[in-house]
Amino acid sequence: MPLYNIVPASFFVNFINRIHDLYSGNKYDVQIYMREGTVIDKARNELVAMALKDNCDFILFVDSDIIMPKEGIDCLINMDVDISSGLYFSKGKPYMPVARVKDGDRHFFLEDFEYNEIFEISGVGMGMCLIKTDVFRNMEYPYFKLEWREKDGIKYQIAEDLYFCEEALKKGYKTYLNTGVVCQHWGTEAGPEQFMIYKDRLKENHDDREEMIEDLIEFEKVDREEINHRFLKMRELELKEMEGVDFTNPKQNEEYYKNNQYGIYRQLEWHFKERRNYDRKIIEEIKKMYPDRNVEILDFGCGSGQLDYMLAKEKFTVSCCDLNKKANDFISFRFTKRRQKIKRINMPISENFKNKYDVIFCFDVLEHIPDEKFEETINLLKKLKKENGIIVSTTSFGVQNYHPNHMDMTERKKELILELAK
């Protein structure tokens, strides 16, 4: 047991009970090893060394915030595999299982599984993990290691537990997860009940993303590997397109937004990660406000059209406009292929355009508008809104060291933005 600090009373009582279970009937000779410290890989390696010195047959790693189920340890021993783990869930939403599947070189959280099953897994946490000591005797030291790696120019860190599972597999030792041994993660509610709340949503997110990837493959006429590469390298690809562009020059600014090829990858990734829950909340609010779907919605600066696509699947018809040619072509392709309704409006919008809207979305658009066109854009949005309509907008001005195409906020811009709420 590696320790950071004081252990919770609930863990202590549970731990004593599980130790008592192991001693009952003189089934096992149990040695207890603890190592205090904040360097987790070092602590785990030292704990293994202690157990090997005492010629133990098994090592059971237990984290000091895990509540183990009765007979759970026996279940892991009876599996008679080299590495076996119980099931527990991360403390933060969406309470994912602390177990990994692997795609290529990268690990991903296990999302889809059934309870009371045993199956091979790419990696597990050490919250409740039983390992035969022969595994360590045939591995090279260090057994656990926090390691920085690099893939396609992007650095990432692999945790010490996943490192161990990978190195063990190289020696032929497989890792198995027993979803019938369900632990509680002390410190917050993080058990099967919390995970099940999010399970359906996680599957929907996965299925929706797969559908989007399929559409991109067909639209771009490239294979999945190339699409994945573009998402992985989207920041570099986008910055390369920005080289030499003077975003304070209105003509250059407009040409960039019309012709860039990789902006839709950042937009789609944003909608499927950071923006996903926000998009869901927006849609739920629109459904409450207009249950009969009798509403005119405009997405001003719609980008890849992902929010509009989600609304279309809820039987809303949205008008959308964006400067970018590729985004417009992808929207047309995707909505046609999936038989969803969308109304396309050319941008810039004509002065003679007469239609008005109940709801106007303007998400992360205004910070891209050149100063000399800002007031004109605000006036256009006010003109497009119905008398009792609403404008929903988010902005992120400045931070040009990260977003070279973001303009700075000014007091006059603040005044103009506040006018949209009137």
pLDDT in tens, 372-416: 889 999 999 999 999 889 999 988 887 766 677 788 888 899 888
pLDDT score at 197: 63
What's at 146, amino acid-wise? L
Contact between 66 and 183 (Cβ < 8 Å): yes
Question: How far is the C-alpha of 124 from the C-alpha of 97, rounded, in Å?
Answer: 9
Bridge partner residues of 129 (DSSP): 61, 85
Residues in the chain with pLDDT values less than 70 = 26, 152, 187-198, 400-402
pLDDT score at 48: 96
Compute the Cα dihedral for 391, 393, 397, 402 and give only its sign: negative
Planar angle of CA 16, 88, 209, nearest 5 degrees: 175
pLDDT reported for residue 6: 76
Look at residue 401 in the predicted model and tell me its pLDDT. 66
**Which DSSP state fits 151?**
E
Please tell me the predicted confidence (pLDDT) of residue 222.
95
Cα–Cα distance, 113 to 119 (Å, whole number): 10
370-376 contacts, C-beta under 8 A, 24 or more apart: 370/247, 370/248, 370/250, 370/253, 370/407, 371/248, 371/407, 371/410, 372/250, 373/250, 374/407, 374/413, 374/416, 375/412, 375/416
Sign, CA torsion 178/179/184/185: positive
- What is the predicted pLDDT for the residue at 46? 95
Q: What is the pLDDT of residue 325?
A: 95
What is the biggest distance separating any 2 CA atoms in the chain, rounded to whole angstroms? 89
Residue 240: CB atoms within 10 Å: 10
Residue 174 identity (one-letter amino acid): K
Torsion angle defined by CA atoms of residues 199, 287, 377 and 234, in that order, rounded to the nearest 10 degrees: 20
Say what the pLDDT of residue 190 is.
Answer: 59
Q: Which structural domains are found in the chain, ordered by start?
A: 2-190 (3.90.550.40), 204-419 (3.40.50.150)
Using CA atoms, how far apart are residues 203 and 224, in angstroms rounded to an integer? 20
Q: What is the pLDDT of residue 322?
A: 94
Q: 319: how many CB neighbours lie within 10 A of its CB?
A: 19
C-alpha to C-alpha distance for 338 and 158, rounded to whole angstroms: 39
For the entire predicted model, the pTM comes to: 0.59
pLDDT at 358: 94
